[in-house]
Every structure is written in structure tokens, then in C-alpha cells.
Amino acid sequence: MAAVALPLARLRPWAFPLAVAVVALLAILYTTDGSGVRLSNSQQIGQICAFLVASVGLNLLVGRTGMHSFAQGAFLAIGAYTFVWTQLTWDAPFLVGMLLAALVPALAGVVIAVATTRMRGPQLAMVTLITAVVVYKVLAEWKPFGQFGGYPNTAAHGSSLIEPPSLFGWELQPPLFGGTPATALVPVIVIAALSLLLYRRVAGTGWGLSLSVIKQSELLAAHLGVNVYLRKVAVVSFAAGLAGLGGACYALVFAHLQPESFALMLGVNLIVMVILGGAGTVLGPVIGTAVIVYLQTAPSVAAFVRWENDTISDRWYLSAQGLIAFMMIAVLFAMPAGIVGSAQRLLRRRRPRRAAIAPWHGGEPAAHLVAVAHTSGESAELVVTDVGLAFGGVRAVDGVSITVAPGSIVAVIGPNGAGKSSVVNLISGVYAGQGGSMHLGGTPLRGLPAYRRARLGIARTFQTPILSPELTVVDNVLVGSEQTASMSCAGAVSATRAARRARERDLRDVAAALELVGLTEEAGRTADELSYGQQRLVELARALVSRPRLLVLDEPAAGLNPTEIAALALILERLRDQGLSVLLVEHHMDLVRRIADHVVCMIDGRVAAAADAHTVLSDPLVVSAYLGQGHVAVAGGQHA
């Protein structure tokens, strides 16, 4: 057993939870002592906690997945109204009310996600914007919710406050009356603390990493075996559920809901909280939420508005809401990483990151990686028969057949535009293609989406490497492991011992892959610090830790210097010798001649020649395709 340690965390594992628990305890002690002087501060703390739960959820969307949603405020509203409704109409137990407050928005989130996630780009933001406006309209205009009388209201419900719900016999009193301890803040603060810990845990799992990959490139995510569509639905719904929980907390704090609190501005404020604090960081939402809630209520803002009136104009000035919106513009221009993000960058510059992984000490790494792949037992022969692909009227691929036997390297060569990359894209599942058949180890591939093919064991690299520039080499390789593809949202939340062991195994694979491609020394650097050649090797390592049965490489030597090409040849030979099937699209004939067991030359979408390297490279048809007709006449096909 080789000594592969867990990644060296910068903190002890219990340090962060302990700090959160201490802060939460202090907040509870401060808010529940019942003195009237602290009421407004207690309300502020309760409000911060309620919004924090929602902004933590939004951070998963905006920071991790790169999906901007304005509907988080609307989901919060739905959760709040659901909670109050359960209390008013059937006096539901507290925990049932909380559960429904999370579930109803989560379901609404599924609907929104299903409608938008198939589209790329800003569509989600646009549709959530409409959602926010419409939900506000319904809350403000629909009679059962009391319109602008609020919910509950004296006219319809006899009181403008909900009855304090009880938890384990405890009355949960809102922070509204002096002399009564604000017990409702206990669950609110605990939920906020738990949501923070939950975010931190989820972000570190394979599921959380897969969200970063989706943000980087949905194409890449699919080729790592991630069902992008389902995962986006899951994360939108998860975030909406957290928003709903935050809404229930909000209802606990104020015991009354006014529709004006849930206008579009709330959704905007939540986004500002996340971005101002630092999207994608654990503590960002805490800072952002505290700052915004403070700005909305602090006397200093009123003083600032007075200053505006005195010095600029008593008509043309910005009040609190306008100032927050203005701040959002300023942050996007001047500090896109947010407060916490910018601070982290400064710290990292001063203290460079240490390698996050123990180096490999387990013999031949190629043997480790490929042996793992072959435990499945079956043969990994790729058989492509007579496939075609047409773009409009252009036949890019026309009746191409290729077979890659286990333990062999097959190279596809051909002039630019011959359809080589299209063949790779047909095999990995980017295009559906027309006609023919494709099998990997006897399993038909036709009709399977890219992520299913990746799970069957097809791993590939891209012509231009797709890496997350801000992640370390280790993390960039780790996303190739199986957990990224197959871990469920529930699995990420519960984090079982089995999952932890799987992660240790994955890190072992990463160490082996880095050793194989010779990047052990660079493990702790971020991807944007690497040379182009090294970036391509990171992609190769990422493809290998997925335990592939077939490795598909799209021009792996392009942009590499001769030393790097020689190293690449060696790596591929070692993998081949362990029994891996490799399909390679390449222009470097030296590399092809050296390592390819079989060469297929494509011209104009068809296979022009297929045999061993020497035969194909001296075929007059191939030579003329590469060098033109004249060359053949002069050199008589002697030289390839």
C-alpha cells in the first residue's frame, strides 16, 4: 500500500465548524436574553441569518455553476408564505411547516430549471427575472394573501402576527416584544450555521466540483460523464429549497409578511450579497449579507442621503435601494471577485499554495491506471462501421470504418478538413451522425448521449485544452474521476464513509496520473500558471483518472515542442503496453510513425488508406493529398 495522504487541508478539519458554532452560540446568547434594548439588533441578526440561508443557496448557483438567478427572492417568498400558510390554515407542527417551506420552492425550482437549462447562457437569468416579477404580482394582488394588508392581517385572520410555533414544547417567540426572549432566533441561527457548513461540504465533493466544470464548459462536463441537464435541474432546485428555508426563517423572525418585502429588489439584493461578498467562496455570502442588511437599516445610510441632498441636489439623489444597485455596478466593474475573493487572492500571492497531494510511490503508474480500467473484464475493442455525418449538404464523414483493438494505438491522419475531428466527435457523442454502427466492447454506442459514452469508458481530450484556470492541477485532474460523474446531490449532502474512501482512491489515481505525465512537481499550481504543453498533459491525466477503456486524443501533439512530443510518445506507449485502446488524431507524422500500430488516412470524409504506418505514409494517394500532385510527379512517391 503506497503512502497517499489526504490533501493537506490548510485548516484542521474541525476548525471551521468550531468557529461557526462559536459565532452561532454568541449570536444566540446575545439575542435571547430578552432585554428590549437589543430588539432591533436581534431583528437585524435574524434577518441576516434568514437571507444568509438563501444567499448560500444562490452562491451554489452563481458562484459554482455560473448560473445567475433573480428568482432566489421569489423562492424565499414562496417558502415564507408556505410556512405562514401551514401555520394559519392547519396549525401544522413547526418541523412540518419548515419541510414544506423548503419543498414547495424546490419543486417550483424544478419547473423553472426544466424550462431553461437546456438553453445556454443568460436565459435562466432572464426567465428568473420574469418569475420574480410575477411571483411578486401574485403575492401583492391575490386576495387570500391579504394583498397590501399583509399576511396574516387583522381583517382576515384576527391578528397581524402568526401564533408562535412550538418546537419540542418550546414557544418560538419572535424578536418583537421587549421582555420576551426571542427564542425563534435559535432555530434561525442554527439553520444559517448549518447551511454554511453544508455549502462548505458540498462544494468540496465530486458533485460540487462537477458544478465548476459545468461553469467552465458544458461540453467538457458531458465528456466527463456528467448528466449536465439533470445536474443543473438539481442545483437550481437545491438552491430554491435553501431559499424557501430562508423564507421560513424570515417568517419566524417577523411573524408577518408584507408583499413589498419580496419585490424584484429582493432577488437583486441577494445577488449583490453573493457577488459583493465573493461568489464561490464559503464566507462571501456571510460578509455580503451582513453588509447589505446593515446598509438597508443603518442610520449612516440616512446620513449619507442627507449628505447627498446637501452637496449634490435635494432632488437628484440616490436612496438606499438605488445605492445598493449602484454598488452592484461598481463591484462588477472594480472588484469582480468580491470582498472575500479579493482578500484570498492577496493572501495567495503572498503565500503560495502547497502541493495538495502526496506524490505517487506505487510502481508503474500506467499499470495502476490501466489495470483499474480492466477490472471490468470485458474487451474494450472499438468497432466503428460505415458511419456518416452531414452538415447541411456537406458530407463531413462518409462511410468511415475504424477498429481499435485493446492494447493498440490507431492514428487517424489526413489533411485539414478531411473529417478527422468529426470522427472523434461522432465517437465521443458530440454529434449523432447518420447510418452505420459503433460498438465499444460489444455495447452499441449509437443514440447514447456523450455523458453515457463517457461512463462506458470513453475518455477524450480536446484540440484546445479546456481547463479551469483558477483550479489547481490536482483539482483539474480530479474532476476526471468517476465521482464527479456519478455522485448525486444527496450523496454530496450526506458524505458517507464510503464516499470518503472513494475520494482517497481517486486521489491515488490522480497521483498516479500526474506521475505518469510528469507533472507531480506542478500539482499545487493553478492551471493558468502552466505552459501550453503542460496544460495538454493535465488534460491527458484528467482523461486517465476516469479509468477509460478507450482513450481518444484530438491532436495531442499540436503546439508541443520536440522534447514534449517525445515524452508524449513515451507516455502513450506505456499506456498501450498495459493494454489500453488509444485512438489518436494527429498531424505530426514523426509521432504517428513512431507509435501507431495502425494508421487510417482520411481524405474528404472518406477513408483513403488504412494499414500500418509505413504502408500508409508511402501511399501515393496519401502523399499527394498532403503535398500536392506535383510532388508525386517529381519525387515519384519515394518520399512521404
Does 453 bind another protein (CB under 8 A)? Our answer is no
**Sequence-separated (6 or more) residues with CB below 8 Å from residue 492:** 201, 202, 205, 206, 207, 208
Q: How far is the CB of 236 from another protein (least distance, A)?
A: 13
Does 129 bind another protein (CB under 8 A)? Our answer is yes
Does 315 bind another protein (CB under 8 A)? Our answer is yes
Phi, psi of 410 (to 5 degrees): -110, 130
Does 12 bind another protein (CB under 8 A)? Our answer is no
What three-state secondary structure class fits 566? helix
Does 118 bind another protein (CB under 8 A)? Our answer is yes
- Paired strand residues for 581: 550
Q: How far is the CB of 317 from another protein (least distance, A)?
A: 6
For residues 397 and 382, give the distance between their C-alpha atoms in angstroms, rounded to a whole number.
18
Amino acid letter, 300: S
Does 177 bind another protein (CB under 8 A)? Our answer is no
**Per CB under 8 A, which region of 131-139, 187-195, 527-535, 573-581 contacts another protein?**
131-139
- Closest CB to another protein among residues 26, 119: 119
Q: Where are the beta strands (DSSP E) in 357-421?
A: 382-391, 394-404, 409-413
Hunting for cell 462548505 — which residue is that?
A: 200
Does 328 bind another protein (CB under 8 A)? Our answer is yes
Does 286 bind another protein (CB under 8 A)? Our answer is no
Does 265 bind another protein (CB under 8 A)? Our answer is yes
Q: 370-429: which residues touch another protein (CB under 8 A)?
A: 391, 425
- Closest CB to another protein among residues 176, 325: 325
What three-state secondary structure class fits 438? strand
For residues 508 and 520, give the distance between their C-alpha atoms in angstroms, rounded to a whole number.
12
Please spell the DSSP secondary structure of 102-125, one letter per residue. Answer: HHHHHHHHHHHHHHHTTS-TTHHH
Residue closest to 482 by CA, chosen among 537, 426, 544:
544
Q: Judge whether 461 and 543 are in contact, CB under 8 Å.
A: yes
Does 342 bind another protein (CB under 8 A)? Our answer is no
Does 178 bind another protein (CB under 8 A)? Our answer is no
- Closest CB to another protein among residues 230, 325: 325
- Closest CB to another protein among residues 235, 507: 235
Calculate the CA 516 to chain-centre distance.
27
Calculate the CA 195 to chain-centre distance.
18
- Closest CB to another protein among residues 114, 608: 114
Decide: residue 40, CB within 10 A, 0-12 exposed, 13-18 middle, 19+ buried: exposed
Does 325 bind another protein (CB under 8 A)? Our answer is yes
| 13-20 CB contacts, 8 Å cutoff, 24+ apart | 16/197, 16/200, 16/282, 17/197, 20/193, 20/196, 20/197
Q: Which of 186, 228, 248, 271 binds another protein (CB under 8 A)?
A: 271
Q: What CA dihedral angle connects 78, 84, 90 and 92, to 10 degrees?
A: 90
Does 134 bind another protein (CB under 8 A)? Our answer is yes
Could you tell me how many residues of this chain bind another protein (CB under 8 A)?
A: 54
Hunting for cell 460498438 — which residue is that?
A: 439
- Closest CB to another protein among residues 119, 566: 119
Q: Would the CA dihedral through 167, 170, 173, 175 be positive or negative?
A: negative
Q: How far is the CB of 26 from another protein (least distance, A)?
A: 34
Q: How far is the CB of 417 from another protein (least distance, A)?
A: 13
Pull the grid cell for residue 113. Answer: 430549471
Does 195 bind another protein (CB under 8 A)? Our answer is no
Does 72 bind another protein (CB under 8 A)? Our answer is no
For residues 556 and 409, give the distance between their C-alpha atoms in angstroms, rounded to a whole number.
13
**Per CB under 8 A, which region of 109-117, 526-534, 560-568, 596-604 contacts another protein?**
109-117
Does 219 bind another protein (CB under 8 A)? Our answer is yes
Q: Which of 70, 83, 238, 262 binds another protein (CB under 8 A)?
A: 70
For residues 261 and 255, give the distance between their C-alpha atoms in angstroms, rounded to a whole number.
13
**Per CB under 8 A, which region of 110-118, 346-354, 537-545, 555-563 contacts another protein?**
110-118
Q: How far is the CB of 107 from another protein (least distance, A)?
A: 14
- Closest CB to another protein among residues 491, 556: 556
Does 629 bind another protein (CB under 8 A)? Our answer is no
- Closest CB to another protein among residues 221, 514: 221
- Closest CB to another protein among residues 110, 161: 110
Given the rule CB under 8 A, which residues bind another protein?
Answer: 66-68, 70, 111-112, 114-116, 118-123, 125-127, 129-131, 133-134, 137-138, 141-142, 215, 219, 264-265, 268, 271-272, 275, 313, 315-319, 321-322, 324-326, 328-329, 332-333, 336, 391, 425, 430
